[in-house]
Structure 1
Amino acid sequence: MIESSWVKRYAEQFEACKLVSTETAVVLSETRSRPEIVQTARLALSQCGVAPVDVVVTTPPNPGPVPIRSTGASVALAANQAALGALTNADFIVDCTVEGLLHAPELGQILASGARVLMVSNEHPENTERWPHDPSLADRVATGVGLLEQAKMMRVESDAGTDLTVDLFGAVRAGSHGWCTEPGTIAHWPGGLVLAFPAAATVNGTVVLAPGDVNLTFKEYIREPVALTVADDYITDIEGVGVDAELFRSYLGAFEEPEAYAVSHVGWGMNTSARWEAMALWDKADHNGTELRAFAGNFLYSTGANEVAGRFCRGHFDLPMRGCTVSLDGRLVVVGGDLVAELLPS
């Protein structure tokens, strides 16, 4: 059953993307996409006065050896020219693929066509009922991106032992507030992130995952500390005596891809409506953790695909961390897990 409240919330988000009835809108899904997401998206587009075009591709088999979750790097398109033809001739694309197109190899071609893409996370639509549209988020994210664009160095510290530096020379800096209005742009929903995709060999130091931090690939809260040594982007040592550390080592090692150990992106959350504790209330199959990537004041450290550094891979971790202090050339933007005043709603 599709709830009318879900359709209404999707429609509000599409309208925030300045969707108009004369535009061509494609719902991109795959055979393993969550049916209620696809159907809610189609109904919401119709409510906006747009006749949706469905593009459904076959989900390729996972070659193993481990499950793949929450990468933002869908391989479902597989360079299919028929599907790409439809997508590159669309004005607006609702991305309902399981992993999302954010790091997909085909994304550049799609955005170059002028299409704008809204990624709808692979989780139960009921989640969206708690994510009100916040018009101020766009301006606040833009402020954060502006600060990041002016900076040469990011430093991240925590009482748990994190001390990480990111040389921002050559990095691509970006933000997502959860909707896309300009041609050739992509957003994920819910938004509220300021991110840097560092250039190669620019990230060094120590990252310490403390209890209460989050491993979103596993959809679990960290219970025991895990210390990561990072040298020129790559995790060179994983210290920890508990199951969290063992799983971390085992999962990344299973891919036999050096790139899985490298930095994908770093940044901080800006969404004051996103909740850190939300994951505790959902079964893993019904929650994808996009909200936890964006909760206000988190530092997000991610491993895996990074197009800026020329790295594509299947292994991936998104690791939102609490209690960190983030500075840009010495200017504080997050203090002990709290946004500074200029980045908060007025």
Structure 2
Amino acid sequence: MVESAWVQRYAEQFEACKLAPTETAVVLSETRSRPEIVQTARLALSQFGVAPVDVVVTTPPNPGPLPIRSTGASVALAANPAALGALSNADFIVDCTVEGLLHAPELGPILASGARVLMISNEHPENTERWPHDPTLADRVATGVALLEQAEMMNVVSNAGTDLTVDLTGAVRAGSHGWCTDPGTIAHWPGGLVLAFPAAGTVNGAVVLAPGDVNLTFKEYVRDPVTLTVVDDYITAIEGSGVDTDLFRSYLAAFEESDAYAVSHVGWGMNTSARWEAMALWDKADHNGTELRAFAGNFLYSTGANEVAGRFCRGHFDLPMRGCTVTLDGTPVVVAGTLVAELLPA
């Protein structure tokens, strides 16, 4: 069943992407995509007089050793030439794959064709009722990205013990506000993130996950502190006495990939409509947690694939943290988990 409220919210997001009736739109999904997302997307496109082309690929089997969750790197396309041909001839692509195309190897050629891609995270569409379109978010994210681009060093500290230094030399800095209007661009919805993908060997210090911080790969709130020692990008020690520490260690070790221990990206959340508490109200199968990546004032520390540093792997953690202070060349952008006034809505 699809609710009219969901269709309306999708349509508003497509309108923000400047979808025109004359454009060719593709709904990309896979056999394990959430049916409600695909159906809602198709109905919302029809409101623009657009007859979408459906590209449905078969979800490949997972070779293990563990389930893959929330990587942003779908393997469903598998370089299929027919699917890539359709996507490369589209003006607008609604990405309904389970993991999303954000870090997929096929994304580069698709964007190079001029298509713009809206990645709809694998969330139950009911969530979108709480994410009204915020026209201020684009400018606020752009301000955050500009501050990041001007900086040479990011430092992150917290009362829990986090003390992390990121040399931004050679880093790729980016932001996502949740919609895309220019050819050859991608956005994920919900948006509201400012991120740096650090160059190799530039991240050092300690990351301390405190109770209430979020492990989005497991879709759980942290219960007991976990201390990560980071040396030249790589986690060299995982310390703590609770089950969170045990799970963290065993998950990374299971993939037998050294790069799973390295930094993927770091940044902070900007979306004042996103809620830290939302994950507590959904069963794991019914949400993807993208909202928690973007809630305003979080510091997002992620491990795994980082194309800028030449690292590719399957093991991956997204870890939104509360209560951190993030500074750029000594100037704060987040203070104890709260955005500075410059980055908040007027």
For Structure 1 versus Structure 2, the TM-score category normalised by the shorter chain is: over 0.9
Aligned to 1:240: 240
- How far apart are 1:48 and its partner, in Å? 1.6
CA contact (8 A) 1:123 1:285 kept: no
Match of 1:67 in 2: 67
Instruction: Indicate the SS of the match to 1:230.
Output: strand
1:56-135 map, 5 Å? 56-135=56-135
Relative to the length of structure 1, the TM-score reads 0.99
- Residue 218 of structure 2 is matched in structure 1 by 218
2:143 corresponds to which letter in structure 1? T
**For each residue in 1:157-197, what CA deviation from the matched residue of structure 2 results, as whole angstroms up to 9, or x when unmatched?**
00000000111111110000000001111111010000001
Task: Write the distance in 2 (CA, Å) between the matches of 1:267 and 1:83.
Answer: 33
| Equivalent position amino acid for 1:176 in 2 | S
Kindly provide the amino acid, as one letter, of the partner of residue 75 in structure 1. Answer: V
The Cα offsets for residues 41-82 of structure 1, whole Å up to 9 and x where unpaired, read as 011001121110001111000000111100001111111111
Q: CA deviation at 1:15?
A: 0.5
Q: Secondary structure at the match of 2:46?
A: helix
- 1:193 corresponds to: 193
- The 2-side partners of 1:117 and 1:154 are apart by 30
What is the one-letter code of the residue matched to 1:91?
A: D
Q: Which residue of 1 aligns with 2:207?
A: 207
Aligned-residue sequence identity (percent) comes to 89
Matched, 1:264 2:264: yes
Shift of 1:312: 1.2
Is residue 177 from structure 1 mapped to residue 177 from structure 2 by the alignment? Answer: yes
Distance 1:48 1:264 in 2: 38
Aligned to 2:331: 331
Q: How far 1:156 moved relative to its partner?
A: 0.4
> 2:174 corresponds to which letter in structure 1?
A
**Paired residue secondary structure (2:55):** strand
- Please tell me the residue identity of whatever aligns with 2:35: P
**Aligned twin of 1:230:** 230
Structure 1 stretches of at least 4 aligned residues deviating more than 3 Å after TM superposition: none
- Alignment partners' CA distance in 2, 1:161 and 1:73: 31
Structure 2 partner of 1:156:
156
Question: Which secondary structure does the structure 2 equivalent of 1:104 belong to?
Answer: coil
The Cα shift of 1:230 comes to: 0.6
The CA deviation at 1:123 is: 1.5
Code of the residue aligned with 1:15 in structure 2: it is E
Contact 1:74 1:98 (C-alpha < 8 Å) held by counterparts: yes
CA distance in 2 between counterparts of 1:328 and 1:292 reads 23
Equivalent residue letter for 1:281: L
Scaled by the length of structure 2, the TM-score of the pair is 0.99
Alpha-carbon distance in structure 1 between the residues aligned to 2:332 and 2:122:
34
Answer yes or no: is the 8 Å Cα contact 1:190–1:291 preserved in 2.
yes
Could you tell me which runs of 5 or more consecutive residues in structure 1 were left unpaired when the two chains were aligned.
none
Match of 1:142 in 2: 142
Mapping 1:28-43, distance limit 5 Å: 28-43=28-43
| Distance in 2, Cα, partners of 1:81 & 1:107 | 13
One-letter amino acid of the structure 2 residue matched with residue 89 of structure 1 = N
C-alpha distance in structure 2 between counterparts of 1:200 and 1:14, whole Å: 37
- Superimposed CA distance per residue, residues 143-168 of structure 1 (whole angstroms, 9 cap, x where no aligned partner): 00000000000000000000001111
- CA distance in structure 2 between the aligned counterparts of 1:144 and 1:13, rounded to whole angstroms: 22
**Which whole-Å CA distance do the structure 1 matches of 2:138 and 2:296 have between them?**
14
Deviation of 1:311 (Å): 1.1
- Please state whether the residue corresponding to 1:253 is helix, strand or coil: helix
State the distance in 2 between where 1:212 and 1:24 align: 44
Paired AA for residue 152 in structure 2: K
SS at 1:170 equivalent: coil
Superposition deviation, residue 268 in structure 1 = 0.1
**Per the alignment, in what secondary structure is the counterpart of residue 170 of structure 2?**
coil
Question: Aligned AA for 1:227?
Answer: T
Q: CA deviation at 1:114?
A: 0.8
